[in-house]
Amino acid sequence: MELKYGYGLVPDLSAHGAGIDHLIKVLHVFMVVLFVGWGVFLLYCLIKYRRRPGHKASYESNKSKLPKYAEIAVVGFEVFLLVGLSFPVWSKYKRDFPADKDALVVRVIGQQFVWNIHYPGEDGKFGRTDPKLASGSNPLGIDDKDPASWDDVVSVNQFHIPVNKPIISHISAMDVIHSFGVPVLRLKQDATPGMEVPIWFQAVKTGVFDIVCSQLCGVGHSLMKGVVTVESAEDYQKWFAEQPKQFKPKAAEKAPAPAAEKKQEG
Amino acid sequence: MHQPVHAAHHEAAHAEHHELGFIQKYIFSVDHKVIGVQYTVTALLFLFFGFCLMMLMRWQLAYPGEPLPVIGNWLGEGMPGGVMLPEFYNSLGAMHGTIMVFLGVVPLAVGGFGNYLVPLQVGAPDMAFPKLNAASYWVYFVGGVIMLASFFVPGGAANSGWTSYPPLSVVATAGQTWWLIGMVALITSSLLGSINIIVTIVQLRAKGLSFFRLPFLVWAQFVTSFLLLLAFPPLEAAGILQLMDRVAGTSFFMPTGLVVSGNALPVAGGGSPLLWQHLFWFLAHPEVYVLILPAIGIVTEVIVNNTRKPLYGYKTIVYAVLFLGFMSFIVWAHHMFMTGMGVTMSNFFQVTTMIISIPSVVVLTVLILTLWGASIRFTLPMHFALAFLPMFAIGGLTGLPLGLTASDIYLHDTYYVIGHFHYVVAPGTLFALFAGIYYWYPKVTGKQMSRFWGKTHFWLSFLAINGVFFPMLIQGIAGLNRRLYDPTFYAHGAAIQDLNVIISISAWCLGAAQLIFILNFFLSLKWGKKVGDNPWEATTLEWATPTPPPHGNFLTEPVVYRGPYEYSVPGEEKDFLPQHVAPAKA
């Protein structure tokens, strides 16, 4: 599906995004009402109380209680914004994680200037990683001695996910701070080295759109674009099956253990 | 009204303060007024320079990858063939922010206006510590020179954003080391200045000038100085820690297991990048109020003077800014909602952020209600002061969607943020500072700036500056990220690229409009209309001095008999009753 971009919010393909968009819209209506009401009052004062012959300023202040009520109303509305509109969306986004078994769990690791997506494969377990093993062909330092790594897939900048399935992404980085931003999925999470932060989401429609690095990460920051492909479960399975299993020992079928040393040269 | 007394006292003043040589009088002066002018002129130069950096960036943003005609060829390594490199773009961005905030607005608002006006408005002969005051200016000057020099080191000036988040800033080119050293100097300068302002206000108020008779500008400077004094030391400490990470191999902000360009980084590790963010924003949020409070102070003085009536709710606005100052210390983490903050913490910071909006609303309400029942003079400074109100309102309102975590998910790090804080600081604070310059210029120089060219400057700036920042809010809604060297690289950015062209053209027009101000500022020194001691018919003490005020300020020690804004008092002949005029014997 081709997405349309222009003025206004980008399309929303996420399950949780409606609450965010609703809040943004309510806020802007509120802001426009306040600003216009207030601006009209300002212009009225400027015209009515301009200096002119025969007009004198009054020493007394405005005694009306209206400003006080207006302020209380503003405070009341802010409480509503907080409790009614922001807290619920945020705590669902941050807290109500699905069980790992019901979701696709991946790791997303920012690196100058690409996004690495680490899929655990059928066993659902990520291979052990060690920064000392990192190399050009294995930037994440995945240990191919760990059998859990043999069915792992590392995809660079291509983030394929099945539609309508909860996705849990553990966000981190290996060098500097990046931020995993996907406007179309209403996602943003800083990718900070030394930390792994889980986020979860669900795409409700298929489509192809961008991951935008949302934290200045160096010279190539503005080119650090990844691609999310939301597809049907079948298409996703097909894509996943085509991905090379680079950590699988060459002779794994026959003798799983000894082939491990090979990968260490980089 | 007391001209004969003047003349006699002029003589006395001259005898007391014997004539100093040029260097002592104008360069290494300890007179708060000279230091205030030094701060003002230096900060204005930095503001213009910082703005020029941005005007360069706007070329790349409007026409990504195209060579900049003529000027592009003068800029050497950063722009080979006139095409801007991304590293140069990042340097420009980082230095624009740093220069505007730390070398421009703060020194102008606190160093310039604070220094010049606080002693005059409290009726003091000088600051409490004149030499400390001079030291503060010179440390600032050195900090500025270091920042400028950093453009010429290998790799160019700092390029990790004005926020300098590690690990990026720790592995960055040499410019970052210079940035950190420069910052340490600038912070030191601010600390020296702020303690001086606090002591001056507490200790040197004239007889009869109780705290609740202080002009509101003095209150604003008082709260601002406390913010500087309490918030800057954490950043100074953090800056030194980051410097150690860069030059001494420590790992305060460097976590274990960093792999940069495929190689494990040889650092001890164990540090936390988030620690820097907390320390930085613990300063940088109060810093927002350091930028805005002196502006509110100036706007209040100008508005009250031009409405010819007392300020609506003097105590209300004073308590509002005291509360604002206090709250500004417990909202900092709203800059960090997307770092992975838990629900409890982020809810706390959302609530404090909503609470801090209340005193801001109170301030705006007080100012607008002062207009009710007034007799408004649309003088030149009043234009800028009135424009401040809606601009600050837009800045404040657009803070709401960023202060609520749910909407911040989408808007964080987009141009919405840039639009928001620039509305606060540029058409907000800077307009207030322009109001201040036009308002007190006659006191400082004895000359009036040209009204016609001032109004031209106002209208052109007002239109252009909204042409710059309003489209940014639209860009942010459309999801366009900030700090992108090429905004058209993403489909959703390319779709709204027209806005970038509009913004850039507006920015260049805004730059051109400032030339009018610069010419007016300098030419009025010679050609401006001469004015008396109190051209605006104002009530506060600075207008009780001769124009320009001599070394030592007041000819006789002023005594204060009333509050600061006694305008249009019933039964009085004139519509203003200065603080220092003794009441007629009953």
Any idea what the CATH number is for the domain that residue B161 is in? 1.20.210.10
- Asked whether the beta carbons of A40 and B363 are under 8 A apart, the reply is no
Calculate how close chain A gets to B569, using CA atoms only, in Å.
6
- Inter-chain residue contact B485 with A222, CB threshold 8 Å: yes
pLDDT at B18: 61
List Cβ neighbours of B573 (8 Å cut-off, separation of 6 or more). none
To 10 degrees, what angle do helices B380-397 and B451-477 make? 10
* CA dist., res. A128 & res. A151, Å (int): 12
CA atoms of B335 and A87, how far apart (whole Å): 17
CB contact under 8 A, B478 and A221: no
A206-210, B24-28, B144-148, B506-510: least confidently modelled range = B24-28
Q: Which of A6, A58, A186 sits opposite B410 (nearest CB)?
A: A186
Report residue B310 as tokens.
Answer: 């007392």
B82 dihedral zone (left: phi>0; alpha: psi -120 to 50; beta): left
- pLDDT per residue over A181-190, tens digit each? 999 999 999 9
Q: How many CA atoms, within 13 angstroms, populate the side-chain half-sphere of residue B258?
A: 25
CB neighbours of A63 closer than 8 A, spacing ≥ 6? none
Q: What are the distances in angstroms from CA A76 to CA A70, A72, B358, B361?
A: 10, 6, 11, 13
pLDDT at B468 over 70: yes
Token pair of B272, please?
Answer: 């936390």
Asked if A175's CB is within 8 angstroms of B259's CB, the reply is yes
Q: Report how far apart, in Å, the C-alpha atoms of B288 and of each of A154, B47, B294, B442, B443 are.
A: 43, 17, 11, 29, 29
Whether residue B206 is predicted with pLDDT greater than 90 in this model: the reply is yes
Q: How confident is the model at residue A76 (pLDDT cuts 50, 70, 90)?
A: very high
Is A10 within 8 Å of B478 when comparing Cβ atoms? yes
What is the phi-psi region of residue B76: left when phi exceeds 0, alpha when psi lies from -120 to 50, beta otherwise?
A: left
Give domain status of residue B13, yes or no: no
Minimal C-alpha gap between A164 and chain B (Å): 21
Which of B73, B248, B95, B104 lies closest to B161, judged by CA? B95
E-assigned strands of chain A? 104-111, 114-119, 153-156, 158-162, 167-173, 178-182, 187-191, 197-201, 207-213, 225-231
Query: In angstroms, how far is CA B272 from the centroid of its own chain?
Result: 31
Closest Cα in chain A, distance from residue B231 (Å): 25
- Nearest chain A CA: its distance from B582 CA (Å): 20
Candidates B256, B377, B413; nearest CB to A194: B256
| Chain A contact for B310 (CB, 8 A cutoff) | yes
Closest CB from B413, B478, B496 relative to A214: B413
CA nearest A185 in B: which residue? B410
Q: What is the mean pLDDT of chain A?
A: 91
In a domain, B419, yes or no: yes
User: Which residue from B minimizes the CA distance to A73?
Assistant: B358
Q: Could A136 and B262 be called an inter-chain contact, meaning their C-beta atoms sit closer than 8 Å?
A: yes
The predicted-structure confidence for A13-53, as pLDDT tens digits, reads as follows: 999 999 999 999 999 999 999 999 999 999 999 999 999 99
Indicate the pairing of strand B263-264 with strand B259-260. Answer: antiparallel
> In this structure, which amino acid lies at residue B429?
T
Containing structural domain, residue B139:
33-252+271-544
3-class state of residue A185 by DSSP: helix
Average pLDDT over residues B39-50: 97
The 3-class SS string of A232-247 reads CHHHHHHHHHHCCCCC
Which of A9, A56, A188 comes nearest B477 by C-beta? A9
Say which DSSP state B103 is in: I
- State which amino acid sits at residue B379: T
**What are residue A153's phi and psi, to 5 degrees?**
-125, 135
Task: Please judge whether A10 and B413 are an interchain contact, meaning their C-beta atoms are less than 8 angstroms apart.
Answer: no
Burial of B5: CB neighbours in 10 Å, binned 0-12, 13-18, 19+: exposed
Task: Give yes or no for residue B119 having a pLDDT over 70.
Answer: yes
Q: How far is A255 from chain B (nearest CA, A)?
A: 31
pLDDT above 70 for B135: yes
3-state SS string over B521-578?
HHHHHHHCEECCCCCCCCCCHHHHCCCCCCCCCCCCCCECCCCCCCECCCCCCCCECC
- Residues B116, B444: contact at Cβ < 8 Å? yes
Q: Cβ–Cβ of B410/A8 closer than 8 Å?
A: no
**Inter-chain Cβ pairs, chain A and chain B, closer than 8 A:** 286
B chain contacts of residue A188, beta-carbon cutoff 8 Å = 338, 409-410, 412-413
Question: Do B107 and B185 meet the contact criterion of CB atoms below 8 Å apart?
Answer: no
Nearest to B391 by CA among B416, B361, B422, B357: B422
User: How near does any CA of chain B get to the CA of A206, in Å?
Assistant: 18
In a domain, B508, yes or no: yes
* Buried/exposed B415-428: b ≥16 CB within 10 Å, e otherwise: bbbbbbbbbbbbbb
B268 interfaces chain A, CB cutoff of 8 Å:
no
Give the gap in angstroms from C-alpha B352 to the nearest C-alpha of chain A.
Answer: 11
Helix or strand run (H / E) with residue B264: strand B263-264
Instruction: State the Cα angle at B224 between B190 and B482, rounded to 5°.
Output: 80
Q: How confident is the model at residue B261 (pLDDT cuts 50, 70, 90)?
A: confident
Q: DSSP assignment, residue A161? A: E
Radius of gyration of chain B (CA): 24
Cα distances from B265 to residues A83, A214, B273, in angstroms, run: 45, 24, 15
Quick one: tokens of A154?
């590392």
Residue B9 lies inside a defined structural domain of this protein: no
Rounded-to-10 torsion of CA B383, B388, B394, B396: -170
Say whether residue B484 is in contact with chain A using an 8 A CB cutoff: yes
Q: What is the pLDDT of residues B304-342, one digit of tens each?
A: 999 999 999 999 999 999 999 999 999 999 999 999 998
Q: What is the pLDDT of residues B345-395, one digit of tens each?
A: 999 999 999 999 999 999 999 999 999 999 999 999 999 999 999 999 999
Q: Tell me what percent of the residues of chain B surpass a pLDDT of 70.
A: 96
| Residue B378 placed within a domain | yes
Q: Quick one: pLDDT at residue B586?
A: 56
Q: Is B386 on the interface with A (CB under 8 A)?
A: yes
Nearest to B486 among A74, A177, A222 (CB): A222
Take residue B498 and report the two structure tokens written for it: 């027209």
B313 in contact with A at a CB cutoff of 8 Å? yes
Mark yes or no for CB contact A28/B405 under 8 Å: no
Name every chain A residue with its beta carbon within 8 A of the beta carbon of B376.
45-46, 49-51
Q: Within a domain: residue B10?
A: no
For chain B, the domain total comes to 1
Q: CATH number for A100-264: choose from 3.30.465.10, 2.40.50.100, 3.40.50.2300, 2.60.40.420.
A: 2.60.40.420
Mean pLDDT for B240-253 is 96
Between A8, A195, A217, which is nearest B340 by CB?
A: A195
For A92-126, write each residue's pLDDT tens digit. 999 889 999 999 999 999 999 999 999 999 899 99
- Nearest chain B residue to A208, by CA: B491
Q: Which of B259, B377, B401 sits opposite A27 (nearest CB)?
A: B401
Q: Which helix (H) or strand (E) holds B488?
A: none
Task: Of A156, A153, A155, give the one whose Cα is nearest residue A245.
Answer: A153
- The count of residues in chain B is 586
Look at the block and give the residue holding tokens 């081709």. Answer: A2
Which helix H or strand E contains B259, and what residues bound it?
A: strand B259-260
pLDDT at B255 over 70: yes
Q: List chain B residues with CB under 8 Å of A24.
A: 401, 407, 410-411, 477
State the smallest CA–CA distance between residue A159 and chain B in angstroms: 17
Give the nearest chain A residue to B307 (CA atoms). Answer: A57
The residue ranges of every structural domain in chain A are 17-51+63-95, 100-264
Give the tens place of pLDDT for each residue, B383-414: 999 999 999 999 999 999 999 999 999 999 99
Element (DSSP H or E) covering residue B263: strand B263-264
| Chain B residues in contact with A8 (beta carbon < 8 A) | 477-478
The residue ranking higher by pLDDT, A70 or B184, is: B184
What's chain B's average pLDDT? 94
Distance CA B328, CA B283 (A): 10
Distance from CA of A254 to the nearest CA of B (A): 32
CA angle B515, B43, B440 (to 5 degrees): 75
| Distances, alpha carbon A197 to alpha carbons A169, A179, A188, B186, B338, in Å | 8, 11, 11, 36, 10
Q: Let me know if residue B549 belongs to a domain.
A: no
**Spatial separation of the C-alpha atoms in residues A169 and A106, rounded to whole Å:** 5
Q: Does residue B293 form part of some domain?
A: yes
Contact check, Cβ <8 Å, B358/A112: no
Sign of CA dihedral A163, A167, A170, A176: positive
Q: Which two tokens stand for residue B160?
A: 């990790």
- Distance between CA atoms of B265 and B168, rounded to whole angstroms? 12
Q: Exposed (0-12), middle (13-18) or buried (19+): which is B282, by Cβ within 10 Å?
A: buried
Q: How far apart are CA A197 and CA B337, in angstroms?
A: 13
- Chain B residues with beta carbon closer than 8 angstroms to that of A74: 358, 361
Structure confidence at residue B286 as a pLDDT band (50, 70, 90): very high
